[in-house]
Structure 1
Amino acid sequence: MTFASDNYSGAHPEILAALVAANVGHEISYGRDSYTERLQDVFRAHFGDDARTYPVLNGTGANVVALQAACDRWGAVICADGAHINVDECGAPEKIAGLKLLPVGASHGKLTIDDVRREAWGFDDEHRARPQVVSLTQSTELGTVYTPDEIRAIAGFAHERGMLLHLDGARLANAAAHLGEPFRAFTTDAGVDILSFGGTKNGMILGEAVVVLNPRLNNGMDYLRKSSMQLVSKMRFVSAQFLALLDGDLWLRSATHANTMATRLAEQIRDLPGAEIGHPVQANAVFVRLPAPVLAGLHEQFSFYDWPTGEARWMTSFDTTPEDVDALAKATSQLVDLTGLRTLD
């Protein structure tokens, strides 16, 4: 049984059905197909009339393309030290895009204006890469969620200094489900200029998208996507998945369920002796500190990652069941009993 990653889950049956339906006849390649054309209207319904969508293969590619669009060759990106672009993309934004990352510490994975201010300087210093973009992750790598007001404040701070705001939205649907807000409330309406929109972690087989909200960033996007090896030849099969996800409420149903399962798990774990939940559980991630013998016992029964912070990371997804959650919680409780922690408590 796995709680390692929402990437471990299979494809949602409705996504598979959409792929089968799209696998009929011939369509023009490289994004000139009818599915990708219709996808533009669907994304505009979620993000506003100026939104332009560029389907790509994966999340790292989406971030690399988006950051290139928002930066000059001498540009730098301010991000949280635990941001995916900083620690989980093998240096791709720096190697492929040629950009300097300026990571700063962030409480619970969320940047504040004061955090951004630490690196927002030296704009006219030719000896320093110029800060041009602030990159936030929504929901964050630690499962926390920015409110629309928090994003709006950082966007205002960035724009006042000539910087742009990028959002890594690998789990954007989980954030929207937690907030009870439409996507545009904490993106377009909050001042986000460009974002990476995730589908794989919410039931798709593969495929993400770069969504440009600031129209001036569309210039050259087709070339950036191709030269970054993210132009899909049979793009209809990526777009068909997004249509199934977003042209209706599948995205919300799946994300809400994943979030609910994480909350259910946290509620059963938080009062166990020796257990400490490290961050607010707002999306589909639970980070918990447990005694080493308990973790060792759990690793024999479940798949999950030990985080560099010393916490275990448990992820839920659209296909996590209440029975799965209850089994993990029960096993944790039993191991706590075996180690004598409950008696000591």
Structure 2
Amino acid sequence: MREDGSVTDSLHDTSIRGFASDNYSGVHPEILDALAAANGGHQIAYGEDDYTRRLHEVFADHFGRDVAVFPVFNGTGANVVGLQSMLPRWGAVISASTAHINSDEGGAPERVGGIKLLTVDAPDGKLTPDLIDREAWGWGDEHRAQPLVVSITQTTELGTLYTPEEIRAIADHAHGHGMKLHLDGARIANAAAALGVPLRAFTADAGVDVLSFGGTKNGLMFGEAIVVLEPSASEGLVYLRKLNMQLASKMRFGAAQLIALLEPAADGGDGLWLRSATHANAMAARLRTSLEALIAAGEAPGLGFSQPTQANAVFATLPAGVPDRLRERFRFYDWDAAKGEVRWMCSFDTTEDDIDAFVAAIREELARA
């Protein structure tokens, strides 16, 4: 802040754009407005505030009247604490080997949660009843961690989608074996936008027991939520959240963001969650179709795709050296460097100009290659 009260310039170059992660984007202006509106006066700490009470009503509108909502700081916290509440100490979780809980959470489920993960290879990131059965065995064997929860991700870490029918089949299969179903919804809004269905269609209505609801990748500053859809599937969350350092004292600010994200628009149109996710998905589709046009025209030698583009992620393969040169202009991650596989993510603030500039850069580097 300058002496005259004006705001100083940003420390970073705000013109730089990237495709590494939807976490790279800033905070949606409507979320910033909601934070400012929640900032006045005093409110009771640790969730006894007006905003957290309203948050329960908003989630009930989306998922059903019996839901319980527990705001947390981040997605790893939501997954670890939610899964802990679903398991006894001897329980294990079946997941895809690519699942975030297995590959991107620094061992937190095992080290912090004390949870054994039983992973299955799934080339498209999606579990099926048959894949689940590769690890769904050994009940009653005192030498084996007991498989008691199945965890899936929507959209998956490979950008693919489960249909509501596929999730219902998994839920029925898990429940038939006495297991519970957890859903990591880091990009749940992108999934609903792509499927064209309400959030509850592939969660509460499809048999999901506990949900990690993601907001940061869809325009929030911070904060996710654990949503208990089946009360009998979860126990002790009120204690586990604190024990795992996920209880916010000023919870109103996490709740205010989620309310702004999920409440219906004042004009009766789509809520912010759906508008933002629909836009991100559309930008990924524009990127994919633009690159497919280059391939069809013979202007993208060596470019291929490794997964379908079903939401806001594009998985592609590039010739050796091209990813590193491209990263000099646009940040993104290798997914499997040995295969030349990369991941490009689009966000609520990705523009058509961003896509067109990136496509032009890809075309240039492929021509050099």
Q: Same fold (TM over 0.5)?
A: yes
Q: Within 1, Cα distance between the matches of 2:81 and 2:327? A: 37
The Cα of 1:12 is off from its aligned counterpart by 0.1
1:287 correspondence with 2:315:
yes
Matches within 5 A, 1:187-198: 187-198=203-214
Regions of 4+ moved over 3 Å: none
The Cα of 1:108 is off from its aligned counterpart by 1.0
Q: Which among 99, 102, 114 is matched to residue 130 of structure 2?
A: 114
Residue number in structure 2 paired with 1:10: 26
Residue number in structure 2 paired with 1:51: 67
Residue number in structure 1 paired with 2:94: 78
Q: Which among 100, 103, 114 is matched to residue 119 of structure 2?
A: 103
Q: Within 1, Cα distance between the matches of 2:132 and 2:139? A: 14
Q: Which among 236, 253, 263 is matched to residue 285 of structure 2?
A: 263
Native 8 Å contact 2:301 2:367 kept in 1: no
Listed one character per residue, the Cα deviations across residues 98-150 of structure 1 (whole Å, up to 9, x for unaligned) are 11000100121111111101000001111000000000000000111100000
The Cα of 1:218 is off from its aligned counterpart by 4.8
Residue number in structure 2 paired with 1:169: 185
- With the length of structure 2 as denominator, give the TM-score of the two structures: 0.90
1:237 correspondence with 2:265:
no
Matches within 5 A, 1:166-315: 166-248=182-264, 249-270=271-292, 271=295, 272-308=300-336, 310=339, 311-315=341-345
- With the length of structure 1 as denominator, give the TM-score of the two structures: 0.97
Residue number in structure 2 paired with 1:343: none
The Cα of 1:295 is off from its aligned counterpart by 1.8
Listed one character per residue, the Cα deviations across residues 270-322 of structure 1 (whole Å, up to 9, x for unaligned) are 32321111111011111100111322321111100011363111111000011
Q: Within 2, Cα distance between the matches of 1:94 and 1:51? A: 27
Q: Which among 336, 347, 350 is matched to residue 317 of structure 1?
A: 347
Aligned partner of residue 290 in structure 2, secondary structure: helix
Q: Within 1, Cα distance between the matches of 2:108 and 2:128? A: 25
Matches within 5 A, 1:127-166: 127-166=143-182
Aligned length: 339
Aligned partner of residue 151 in structure 1, secondary structure: helix
| Greater share of helix | 1
Residue number in structure 2 paired with 1:342: none
Q: Within 1, Cα distance between the matches of 2:321 and 2:109? A: 39
Backbone CA RMSD of aligned residues: 0.9
List runs of 5+ in structure 1 lacking aligned partners.
340-345
List runs of 5+ in structure 2 lacking aligned partners.
1-16, 265-270
Aligned partner of residue 18 in structure 1, secondary structure: helix
Native 8 Å contact 2:86 2:235 kept in 1: no
Amino acid at match of 2:85: A
